[in-house]
A and B are shown apart, each in its own frame.
Chain A
Amino acid sequence: MSSKADWKTILEPVNPDSNEPLFFTKHEWETVEAIAARIIPTDHDPGAKEARAVVFIDRYLSGISYIFASADGSGFLEIDGKHAHSWRARISDLQKIYREGLLVVDEVSKSTYSKKFVALDNDSQDAVLVKVSSQPKPGAVNLGTTEPATTFFQFVSDDGLPFWPAICLHVKQGFYADPVYGGNKNHMGWKVIGFDGPESLKDTMDGTYTTADKFTGDYNWGDLIPVLANQSNFPVPVKSEGLYN
């Protein structure tokens, strides 16, 4: 049994153009691809279909080989020991949730439209997903309002999620996660929303990737912090000098 510190790097980055399922059946693959296309639809910008969210989800559900990319994104970590047990159990639960959830999607499609989900037009597919989710289709977010909420947890795992919120989360991940995992092909998801992310994970480890241009260049600490002028114990800086990139 090896410590997390010693997990080996195996495999290679996932090929987003693969059409070979490791977990899904062909029909399940097509259904997931069709659902993903309704979760993040294609418009004048690409959507989850073009970003290959289905490849991302298939690899995730295939076992424990595609859970954690190595730090530099050259491959994946071979999970070992107690962590391998817990991840196998987690993935096994998710496999069951997906298999059953996809059956429900087709059952609702057939009982409503007498066709499988993949054969429906966009509006009918949305109507089926509204039924599956038991909630109205989300509406647009508008400016000019205040919308209170209550506190929630900071990080989002998929432990315990039912099918619908799980696939919505996974499609979002497949659209926005680093491309090493098989989705976000050519940083397509990032480009849609204007996220200037790193070319590769390796670039985040050595200073190659920097967001220095997203900070304020034109500032003076004395202007931002007027009280500095009123104290005499410590020097008053103008700018932060000698900064790294």
Chain B
Amino acid sequence: MTSKVKPAPVDVVIVGLGANGGTAAKVLSEAGLKVVGLERGPWLKNDKHYSGDELKFVNRNYMWPDSKLTPRTVRRSETEVAEPYPFSMTPQLVGGGTNHWAGWVPRPRESDFMLRTLHGDVDGASLADWPFRYDHLEPYLTKIEWEFGVSGIAGADKTEPFRSKPYPSMPLPPTRWGKKFYDACNKMGINAFPIPHASVTNGHKDRNPFNRTSFWNQYGDPSGARSNTATTFIPEAIATGNFELRSEAFVREVVVGKDGKATGVIYVDEDGAEIQQDAKVVILTLGAIESARLMLMSKSSKFPEGIANSSGLVGKNATFHEYLFAIGFFDKDIDDPVYGWAGNYISGGTMDFYETDESRGYIGGSITASSQTCHPINMVFPGRPLWGQALKDSDRTFFSHAMKIGLILHDLPQEANRVDLDPNVKDYMGLPVARITHKAHANDVAMGKWQVDKNVEILEMAGARKTIPVYLDQMTGNTCHQHGTARMGFDPAKSVLNEWCQSHDVENLFVLDGSGFPTATGVNPTLTMMANAWRCSDYIADYYLKGREMRLEQPK
């Protein structure tokens, strides 16, 4: 192993430079702190590395982790041996999931922060309130919308809680299939609106948006249209002169000192050299699966079960969402084409089915949105014939005559659903991989059924002449949404992190991704995560590193 000079200690080391690491890098370096960011993947450049190559981005996983190098394993219960499966394989590179994402960034709702207060104990679930409320987060939601770049129409979603500012950019016009969705919703009395998008259509903050190629979900954007921390927050952090980015740096341990505080992290660089980076504060932003894995791998005499894990809860209560949907086909001989392959992946959507209505047989609800059926190789078409004349005929007939309405399933937390270290399978570094144990709750299945059936109703109102509803059986990890593996709370026996996502056990360790979410919410989580990462980064800069402390009161 090569040895290299130990780098100088810094104020903050951030592990993982995706949505949340990028946010922390910006906020902390702009506050004047010396920050090093370590990212295990490469630093790809949007204008050099990205284009509309379906085979490369969707089938051959150019941007996604190679599951031969960094596998994951999945099982449904304690008694099974977990099998390798590419579960929730969020891209691991500078910018993380903000490279490939469609970029839906709806705001969470007030109810998302208080599910246990609203519903009490639900059988088989481990509901918990968040240690803060929507009002605490609102200023930060607005900061992300304006600083990162989000398009939408303020006031169009009648269920949205208070917002302090409108959006900095208008949405793209509706797609043809999006128009079908609006028209059907208006006939049914449903409030449809453009789903807020992490993208700009104007020159906001000197951006240069031009991408209307329809190569959207799963593709990197070569233009400045879509918001990606690799093209926004990270360059802004670098411009302060206080932030150093090291890509291809794989962190394998958070080191604990004699005083019980973290001293820094050990990483392996591109040349295989092992390097220790010391810092006053360690921030983990690897995503809820990999952050939990790193905490569990960071064993010491003080923390034999993994750092910051005196509660035994690291990795538990994992929630993942699942993308469920229904497809609608139109008649090529009679109906105009809706061009399901075109557009910015999502168009109109609704939050009308979000709040609990117990007559539906479940609690909670999900965001609903019309969306693309994607490109020729990977057209989203369950039951697409595998081969023969039937394949050719159905592609020719339905490629431009299909649309989709989908939802983000708000799955309930269960303590047994968790991330731990696989005892058998190792990654290319020889380190144990993350093992997912997950079984859907009856509430998840019931919610999926009702909401998918509602999508079918909307499709039929839109004139679809055939529908394909896709229900939940078990989670496949088909979103990159990961939460709950180090839940926040006030009680150190029942949570891993406090209300600032600061470890109860290790005061200078913060986990600023979705790991802290006590419950999953029913919206795409990135806006909430980034707003929370900003909020907690402010606490680190304004309080923790100034030797001050502030505690929130338990919300009522």
User: Which of these, B59, B179, B467, contacts A146 with CB under 8 Å?
Assistant: B467
User: Which of these, B45, B54, B465, contacts A176 with CB under 8 Å?
Assistant: B54
**For the complex, what is the distance from the CA of A218 to the CA of B505, rounded to whole Å?**
58
Once A and B bind, how many residue pairs between them come within 8 Å at the CB atom? 321
The answer, yes or no, to whether A18 is at the interface (CB within 8 Å) is no
Task: Please encode chain B, from 28 to 54, with 1 for each CB lying within 8 Å of some chain A CB and 0 for all others.
Answer: 000000000000011111011111111
- Contact of B153 with A237 in the complex, beta carbons under 8 Å: yes
- Contact of B465 with A234 in the complex, beta carbons under 8 Å: no
- Contact of A244 with B192 in the complex, beta carbons under 8 Å: no
Size of B's binding interface in residues, CB under 8 A: 114
User: Which of these, A86, A215, A237, contacts B68 with CB under 8 Å?
Assistant: A86
The answer, yes or no, to whether B310 is at the interface (CB within 8 Å) is no
- Secondary structure type dominating chain A contacts: loop
B225 neighbours in A (Cβ, 8 Å): 244
Size of A's binding interface in residues, CB under 8 A: 104
**For the complex, what is the distance from the CA of A189 to the CA of B210, rounded to whole Å?**
27
> Min CB distance, B289 to chain A, in Å?
16
Interface residues of A in 200-245 (CB under 8 A from B): 201-202, 204-207, 209-212, 214-217, 219, 221, 224-228, 230-231, 233-237, 239-245
Known A4-B44, A82-B428, A177-B377; judge A209-B213 contact (CB<8 A). Answer: yes
**For the complex, what is the distance from the CA of A195 to the CA of B399, rounded to whole Å?**
8
**For the complex, what is the distance from the CA of A151 to the CA of B172, rounded to whole Å?**
29
User: Which of these, A39, A152, A176, A239, contacts B173 with CB under 8 Å?
Assistant: A239
The answer, yes or no, to whether A126 is at the interface (CB within 8 Å) is yes
- Residue of chain A at shortest CB distance from B460: A146
**For the complex, what is the distance from the CA of A177 to the CA of B182, rounded to whole Å?**
33
Known A45-B396, A204-B52, A215-B176; judge A149-B376 contact (CB<8 A). Answer: no
A1 neighbours in B (Cβ, 8 Å): 270-271
The answer, yes or no, to whether B86 is at the interface (CB within 8 Å) is yes
Stretch from B134-142, B258-266, B340-348 forming part of the interface with A: B340-348
- Contact of B166 with A234 in the complex, beta carbons under 8 Å: yes
- Residue of chain B at shortest CB distance from A137: B388
- Contact of A159 with B68 in the complex, beta carbons under 8 Å: yes
> Min CB distance, B227 to chain A, in Å?
15
- Contact of B386 with A71 in the complex, beta carbons under 8 Å: no
Task: Please encode chain A, from 5 to 26, with 1 for each CB lying within 8 Å of some chain B CB and 0 for all others.
Answer: 1000000000000000000000
- Contact of A240 with B176 in the complex, beta carbons under 8 Å: no
- Best-buried of A141, A146, A171, A189 by chain B (most CB within 10 Å): A141
- Contact of B175 with A215 in the complex, beta carbons under 8 Å: yes
Interface residues of A in 119-151 (CB under 8 A from B): 126, 129, 133, 135, 137-151
The answer, yes or no, to whether B193 is at the interface (CB within 8 Å) is yes
Task: Please encode chain A, from 184 to 210, with 1 for each CB lying within 8 Å of some chain B CB and 0 for all others.
Answer: 000001101111011001101111011
- Residue of chain A at shortest CB distance from B271: A1
Interface residues of B in 48-66 (CB under 8 A from A): 48-56, 58-62, 64, 66
B390 neighbours in A (Cβ, 8 Å): 137-141
**For the complex, what is the distance from the CA of A5 to the CA of B44, rounded to whole Å?**
5
Interface residues of B in 486-538 (CB under 8 A from A): none
**For the complex, what is the distance from the CA of A69 to the CA of B392, rounded to whole Å?**
26
> Min CB distance, B69 to chain A, in Å?
5
**For the complex, what is the distance from the CA of A82 to the CA of B388, rounded to whole Å?**
38
B210 neighbours in A (Cβ, 8 Å): 206-207, 244-245
- Contact of B59 with A215 in the complex, beta carbons under 8 Å: no
A43 neighbours in B (Cβ, 8 Å): 389, 392
**For the complex, what is the distance from the CA of A129 to the CA of B331, rounded to whole Å?**
31
A-B pairs with lowest CB-CB distance, top 7: A204-B52, A138-B385, A214-B342, A207-B210, A176-B376, A149-B382, A234-B154
